[in-house]
């Protein structure tokens, strides 16, 4: 069972697949980051979708590691930090880099 979470003008080609579970703090943090950056994604709850849970295991060497995020270009991040999410999204051109402050 999955829900598509997208801004009105988002195209499916730019949507990530987001595998996770609502009890998982890392999943909630990463989803909040996607929402805060207005990045479209298809939410797939691995507790409700057993096929998705098996797919997550296949993508992660037999481990049910969540969140697992498949980006529009096919790249994959598993249990990423917020910093890694931002770096990857910038590298893919999904968001603009944040300005670096010269203050200490």
- Given a cut of 80, whether residue 101 has pLDDT beyond it is no
Return the pLDDT at 13: 65
- Given a cut of 60, whether residue 12 has pLDDT beyond it is no
What whole-number distance in Å separates Cα of residue 86 and Cα of residue 33?
9
- Given a cut of 70, whether residue 55 has pLDDT beyond it is yes
Which residue from 67, 70, 62 is spatially nearest to 47, judged by alpha carbons?
67
Which residue from 8, 14, 6 is spatially nearest to 43, judged by alpha carbons?
6
How distant, in Å, are the alpha carbons of 10, 27, 43, 47 from that of 22?
24, 7, 10, 9
Residue-wise pLDDT for 22-42, tens only, equals: 999 999 999 999 999 999 999
What whole-number distance in Å separates Cα of residue 97 and Cα of residue 8?
23
Domains of the chain: which residue ranges? 2-91
Q: What pTM does this model have?
A: 0.83
Return the pLDDT at 87: 97
> CATH second-level architecture of 2-91?
3-Layer(aba) Sandwich (3.40)
């Amino acid at each position: 069972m999955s829900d598509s979470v997208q801004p009105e003008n988002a195209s499916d080609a730019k949507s990530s697949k987001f595998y996770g579970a609502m009890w998982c703090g890392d999943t909630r943090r990463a989803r909040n980051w996607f929402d805060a950056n207005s990045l479209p994604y298809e939410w797939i709850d691995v507790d409700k979708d057993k096929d998705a849970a098996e797919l997550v295991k296949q993508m992660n060497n037999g481990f049910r590691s969540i969140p697992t995020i498949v980006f529009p270009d096919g790249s994959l991040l598993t249990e990423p930090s917020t910093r890694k999410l931002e770096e990857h999204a910038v590298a893919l051109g999904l968001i603009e880099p944040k300005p670096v402050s010269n203050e200490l």
